[in-house]
Chain A
């Protein structure tokens, strides 16, 4: 029986040497993949799922990484300790792999043809014309239209989704028995994600290969995989048939994972509150310069005539895919970048105010950024970071008073006051995001712009942060401008939603209404891709 197994991993451990210490990333996992089967490794960041996948092809940074125990057999052949030649004959040949980041996984200096043909030369010894025919065939297979014309394209000339497709074509070039997809859709937009997943499923049935998916997104697993392994802290906590696990999760951790889907918002926002923010015909145009004298030839219209009204205590969700201009809109409202049009905050026009005139208003409008690693200065203690705004706006208060206010803000966001003398790098992503929120909160603002505050976090942490934000909104009657690409998250916190595309508003309305009954084809495609992972074929969304 073992003979028929394509992949057979037994008691595999992976450790890393870091300085003088040894970090155990994977601790004794065993799994197998049958021919033609789709298996998923699910887990949150740091669970060791990617490391497990990389060790299949022995792609870890050896000898810094090593396997204290275990064996990996691919088609009966032992991979651990195998010679480089044996490994090379497996990599890209019997087993293909696609990675998370399509931009960095393709060589920017090679054309599409060269990227894909390389593996054909190496493993098949094909001639140039043979390879070219095969590349065109592969590009057609992965759904890149007009394949012949795109042979000479460089990666930067392709869209994110197309790059991902080229990667898949590379992995498929030698008709592998197994395709490993390591977070294949994390870096692409939801509409593209749906397309890629559909493509993967389709290719798998057509080519009869096995598929190993590594992901943190349960929805993907549920849609694609036949069997799943749930990974937590380097170990499998649960394994079994997908349907079985989703219906009757046994392990506590699995139950928590499944439960941590953001729930739709139930409470209604306060009615009849005054308008806090009114944006009229806001435009942010970046000039495109060209010609000999560098004259402005055209503009990139990042935000192109947006008008919004936001009532106190309400939350407006701004959704859109990357490049839609939603983040730029947030920055423009805070006057962090130059813009045209009117921004009225509680009746005061913000445009045209000088830096000093604007300063007293700054404490009322705050921002929380997406990246919990980039938004906190690594050189300042948590206390200093949170107190920075206090120093600007209330320079009179004493040192002790300031520490007390910081302590209060930390408690507010569910951290401990003792943490103020520690540094950002000592905290997890979720904790850092709480610190960012505390920094905004300490000034007692009226309006907070939340720019993808949960996008870089695991689902379980996302749910906690959303809970926190909802609680704070209730307690302080805060108003949020919630920017996100994730409709599920927006649905759980916003009462109104604006769908943006190419700097313009495509659709706007009550959250329930837009998400349940989208009126425009683009919004419909977005909703379908987000909630059902179904790709849109109407042509509203590009490839």
Chain B
């Protein structure tokens, strides 16, 4: 019988095959396909560098309290160490009059500290909510050695605002993206896999819901409830989940007809296992490809709400708010320009990363 183009020294009996050398990435076992995707991503120089720059910027902003703060990192006072960044100390500890938390920017306190020891200050001696009372000119003040990018109309430092604003934008964007993707994938999966009435009703609902003018509705709702990080998140979630549903639904429809899904069903694999093992990975590819772009969209949405004044509560660090000030204070161009540059850089990086991810998952670029 002529089967097998088999080499002479191949084992003839059933033996357990030896394991192949494993490929690892970040300590995880990865498949060759994943390895090729990572390599393609790396070869996309622009996206690869964008990812590192973005991660770097976000990491820096995560340490915002250490970088821009209105209290010192370490204070040595009478031979004892204090960590004002972490702990609130009453002013009386440093020989002041009040039982309240120390205002380290107060010249009186500063002198006291200098007399009895030393203080290590952050790079920028302002937090996003610190009002600079020492301005020589009326706020908004132009860039100066103290305020590198000047201050806004409430005499708050622009650099500090940008650092904290960037952090909250990205954090908000990430949370919104991840939550809405989870919901979107679940809904799309159910819709695509089971089809029928559920699918039909959901499609009609989404058509109606999707044609609601989102921004107006958000503005109305935002004026009814107290805005906050999570309430705005919930409001935006009302619409954001729809982005991925159609995509995932289509992928599921397609996958249902794949022969390997049929083969698995013929083997008796249960529905749930089938979805998780065979269908979901397909859908996840298009989902992952979309994520950076959804993230960029989420950031933009938050910024525009802030810009219109319906976003995060007043006093929060916010790029949208900074943009709005740039618009109303045309004679203070440093406000608008700073906000524009940081938004431009952030969104551009995200789009570049998105391009690289898309290439990495493009079968035409990884297959051969």
Contact = CB atoms under 8 A, between A and B. Distances in A.
Interface string B1-12: 111111100111
B123 interface: no
Given A331-B262, A414-B3, A418-B18, A377 B33 contact: no
B31 interface: yes
Contacts of B16: 400, 403-404, 407, 417
A444 to B, nearest CB: 13
Contacts of B258: 374-375
Of B3, B4, B6, the most chain A CB neighbours within 10 A belong to: B3
Given A369-B262, A374-B260, A423 B17 contact: no
A411 interface: yes
B11 A417 contact: yes
B3 A468 contact: yes
A420 interface: yes
A418 B17 contact: yes
A408 B13 CA distance: 7
Interface string A415-428: 11111111101000
Interface residues of B, number: 39
Nearest to A413: B3
B367 interface: yes
B269 A420 contact: no
Nearest to A337: B262
Contact of A408 (B5, B10, B14): B14
A256 interface: no
Interface stretch (A27-35, A156-164, A356-364): A356-364
B19 interface: yes
A366 B268 contact: no
Contacts of B367: 425
A64 to B, nearest CB: 11
Given A404-B15, A414-B4, A423-B32, A377 B267 contact: no
Given A414-B5, A425-B367, A468-B3, A439 B263 contact: yes
Contacts of B14: 404-405, 407-408, 411, 417
Interface string A96-114: 0000000000000000000
A443 interface: yes
A512 to B, nearest CB: 23
Contacts of B265: 336
Nearest to A436: B263
B9 to A, nearest CB: 11
B305 to A, nearest CB: 39
A376 interface: yes
Contacts of A470: 1
A404 B15 CA distance: 6
Given A18-B368, A403-B17, A421-B17, A367 B262 contact: yes
A378 B269 contact: no
A346 to B, nearest CB: 17
Interface string B236-271: 000000000000000000000011101111111111
B3 A378 contact: no
Contact of A388 (B15, B267, B368): B267
A338 interface: no
A164 to B, nearest CB: 26
Contacts of B277: 377, 380
24 contacts: A19-B368, A336-B262, A355-B270, A355-B271, A363-B268, A367-B263, A374-B258, A374-B260, A377-B278, A392-B267, A393-B267, A407-B15, A411-B14, A414-B5, A416-B11, A417-B15, A421-B19, A423-B31, A439-B263, A443-B267, A464-B2, A464-B3, A470-B1, A471-B3
Interface of B: 1-7, 10-20, 31-33, 258-260, 262-271, 277-278, 281, 367-368
Interface of A: 18-19, 331, 334, 336, 355, 358-359, 362-363, 365-367, 369-371, 374-381, 383, 385, 388-389, 392-393, 400, 403-405, 407-408, 411, 413-423, 425, 436, 439, 443, 464, 467-468, 470-471
